[in-house]
Structures are given as C-alpha cells and as structure tokens.
Amino acid sequence: MTRRRVTLADVARAAGVSRTTASLVLSDRGTELRISEASQQRVRQVASELGYRPNILSADLRRGSSRTIGFISDTIATSQLAGDMIKGALDHAHREGYLLFIGETEGDLAEEERLIQTMLDRQVDAVVIASMFTRERPIPEGVRGRSVVLLNALPDEAGAVTAIIPDEYDAGRRAAELLLSAGHTRIHLLGAGPARDEVPPQTVAGRERLAGILDALAEAGIAPASGRVCKVWLPEDGWKATADLIATGARGEAIITFNDRLAFGAYQALQEAGLRVPEDFSLVSFDDHQLAGWLHPGLTTFAIPHYELGRRAIQFLLDGEDDAVATVASVERIAMPLRARGSVGTVGTAAAVSVDVTPAERPRSPRDARPVSVRASRGTAGT
C-alpha cells in the first residue's frame, strides 16, 4: 500500500502549533518573526520524524515558475550519436536547479503535439524542440507564443523562434582551408556538389557545408575538381562514389566527404584499390562518428558539438526566463571543433599534417583499427 504523503498540516498538528507557524519555521523565518526557539526545535524534530518533504512544485508555482523544462526530440533520446545533446541539456538544467522532462516522438507529429500538451499541462517553464539531423521544420502550434527554442533545426518561417544549430558553413570553409593549407588544389566532393544547388533534398547540413567549401575554394581561385551527389550518405554510397573517382585515374589528390559514413565507404574503396590514406588521397569529413578514430589512419573530421548544443539551448531559455516570450528570434550557430587525426597529407610528402590529438580522440586499444564499412539504416542524407 502506498504511504500517504506527509503534509504541512500533519507536522503542525503533531507539533501542537498552527499551520502558519510550522510553515514559517520550515521556511527559516521563525527567528525573524519571533517564534520561540523551543517551538522551532519541536517543529523541525517532528518534521524530521514524520519524513516531511515540502511541496517544491507548489512553492515554485506560487512564485510563477515550476523550475522544469520540456525537451521533445525525434530520435535523439535513443541515438548513440547524439546522446551528448541531452547530457549537455541535463547538466546545465541541473546546475541551475531545473528538472528536464524528456519525450521522444520518433517523427510522429501527433505524438509530438500530445507530448507538448502533456508538458504544458505540467506547467513547464519552457520547451526545447530538438532534431537528430539538422533540418527545417514547422513550429508546433502548441508552443507558439511560449518560451521555446529549436535545437539542431531551423524554423520553416523566418523569425518564428530562435534556433541553435552547428555552424556547418564555417566547418565547410575550414575543411577546404585545411586541404588548401596542405597544398591541395584538386579537391573532390563526395555527397554534394560541385554546383551550389546540387544537394540532397531536406539537408540543411549539406547545403551549408557545401556553401562554406565553395566560398573558401573560390577565394583561393579554385573550383572543385569534381562533385558526386549522394541521395543518402551511407558507407555504401561513399564506396560507390570513391570507386568511380578512382576509375578516373585520379591520384595524389584530396576528398571532402559530407559525413563520416561516406568516409568509411571511401576508406574501403581506397583499400580495395591498393591505395593509401593520406599518401594517395587525403580525406576530410564531418560529424566525428564514434568510429572515426578507429580507422587507420584516424579520420580528420569536424565534430558536431552535441554537448554544447544541448547546454546552450537550456542556457538560452534560462537567460530569457524573465520574458514570457523571446522578443527577438535568431539563429545561433555553435562552432564545430576539428578532430585532426591522420587522414590529411601534405602535397609532395608522405607525411600527414601534424596536429596534436588528445587522448580522448585516440582509439581505446593499442591495436590498429582496420578500415571498415559501417552499416546504418537507410534514410535521407544528413549528419
């Protein structure tokens, strides 16, 4: 049988004082309002013996806050790749004394609306709407006019709400600049390009990465050596595109793959052709998949800052908690850190570009990892 919750009235009755006196004592205002020390000690002792716990939610609601935030995602909660996004949100919420209510929709819009209403019924102070893949999406009707932020997604109507996403454009620029600084002038694109409009549909990451790459190359007076659009970005697609590139006779050049799964396929195709990374081809990619450091040599890639994205979403909402609704919607982009490993070589030498790698980026075993082809469930292109 469930034990009944001990109330403030129970404490007051057992201590032989009024409910008001018990409340003042347990909120540390007894001395201020001249309640005798003996009465205060008796109230505290009884509260401890009865196992009294104050109703934090009721107290917070009287102050106009539940100190809770709703976090609704499509598949992030069960995704190994993006688990750090929730961890970042949880850590910052906990640090600020807030609880996170987490729900997952699996892409079902009806379930999303149900979760939103359920969380609003529980008086959450704000809502995070998160996406596994960076994409454009409509604003749910249930959160319009409320404190809300899109995480790893853009609103399909400008200025609707604030969005926090990875800085894919900057990462694209830096990927191209990294290869240019290593002396590469023939750079092939796998996944999108070479024209700006040659991007798989509904992939914000692909569009922005390609724009950054093309702008950096144009500033250097260089056009992409080739581009191969892949409708989906899985290892087998990277393998096919790279095998096609190898068949042209290209050697000693560079490849930018639009995500790490494409790079896994590229590694496999190069190995099967008897070619080596970075001696025959340099590779740069995006995402920092958990297997990127296990390839041999390790894959140089720009990491999606999952933890920082989640942390910043909660920080943004709490920074604006004095306003019922953010007055100025914007897009905030979080830098994607470079994980420099061994897949970029300097033109004219056999040496990889030397960059210090932290222990966290090294394989966890001294055994060299072999190139692998990673299988993933088929879907649209994305990170």
Cβ-contact 189, 227 below 8 angstroms = yes
- Residue 185 sits in a domain of what CATH number? 3.40.50.2300
Take residue 334 and report the two structure tokens written for it.
């979080």
DSSP state of 195: S
12, part of any domain: no
Residue 352: strand pairing partners:
345
Of these ranges, 33-47, 89-103, 256-270, the one predicted with the greatest mean pLDDT is 256-270
138, part of any domain: yes
pTM of the model: 0.75
Indicate the residue type of 38: A
Least trusted range by pLDDT, from 145-154, 218-227, 350-359: 350-359
Domain match, 178 and 288 both: yes
**What pLDDT was estimated at residue 80?**
65
Domain match, 204 and 288 both: yes
**What pLDDT was estimated at residue 326?**
45
3-state secondary structure of 8: helix
Domain match, 354 and 241 both: yes
**What pLDDT was estimated at residue 28?**
80
Q: Say if residue 380's pLDDT is above 80.
A: no
**What pLDDT was estimated at residue 157?**
80
140, part of any domain: yes
The reply to whether omega before 140 is within 30° of 0 (cis) is: no
Domain match, 235 and 344 both: yes
Q: Say if residue 313's pLDDT is above 60.
A: yes
Cβ-contact 179, 282 below 8 angstroms = yes
Q: Say if residue 241's pLDDT is above 90.
A: yes
**What pLDDT was estimated at residue 158?**
76
Domain match, 99 and 162 both: yes
**What pLDDT was estimated at residue 150?**
94
* Residue among 3, 297, 348, 329 at smallest CA distance from 149: 329
61, part of any domain: no
Domain match, 143 and 286 both: no
Q: How many CA atoms lie within 13 A of 49 on its CB side?
A: 11
Helices (H) and strands (E) in the chain, counts: 11, 12
Domain match, 180 and 286 both: yes
**What pLDDT was estimated at residue 55?**
61
Least trusted range by pLDDT, from 37-51, 60-74, 148-162, 243-257: 60-74
280, part of any domain: yes
Question: What are phi and psi for residue 31, nearest 5 degrees?
Answer: -65, -40
Task: Give the Cα-Cα-Cα angle 137, 141, 146 (nearest 5 degrees).
Answer: 100
Domain match, 142 and 179 both: no
Give the span between the Cα atoms of 241 and 229, in whole angstroms: 9
Query: What is each CA distance from 147 to 114, 292, 317, in whole angstroms?
Result: 18, 37, 7
Domain match, 254 and 293 both: yes
Domain match, 186 and 260 both: yes
- Write out the E strands in the chain: 68-73, 99-104, 126-137, 148-155, 162-166, 187-191, 226-229, 253-257, 281-287, 300-303, 331-334, 338-339
Q: Which domain holds residue 134?
A: 68-166+306-334
Q: What are the tens digits of pLDDT across the range 269-295? A: 999 999 999 999 999 999 999 899 999
Cβ-contact 192, 208 below 8 angstroms = no
The interaxial angle of helices 260-272 and 235-247, nearest 10 deg, is 50
Give the span between the Cα atoms of 339 and 224, in whole angstroms: 23
100, part of any domain: yes
* Stretch 157-167: mean pLDDT: 87
Of these ranges, 72-81, 136-145, 366-375, the one predicted with the greatest mean pLDDT is 136-145
* Stretch 302-308: mean pLDDT: 95
**What pLDDT was estimated at residue 355?**
47
How many residues appear in the chain? 383
Cβ-contact 243, 190 below 8 angstroms = no
Q: How many CA atoms lie within 13 A of 278 on its CB side?
A: 28
Domain match, 105 and 173 both: no
Q: What are the tens digits of pLDDT across the range 315-358? A: 999 887 544 344 466 899 999 999 999 999 998 765 555 444 33
**What pLDDT was estimated at residue 25?**
87
Domain match, 156 and 197 both: no
Share of the chain above pLDDT 70, in %: 83
Q: How many domains does the chain have?
A: 2
330, part of any domain: yes
141, part of any domain: yes
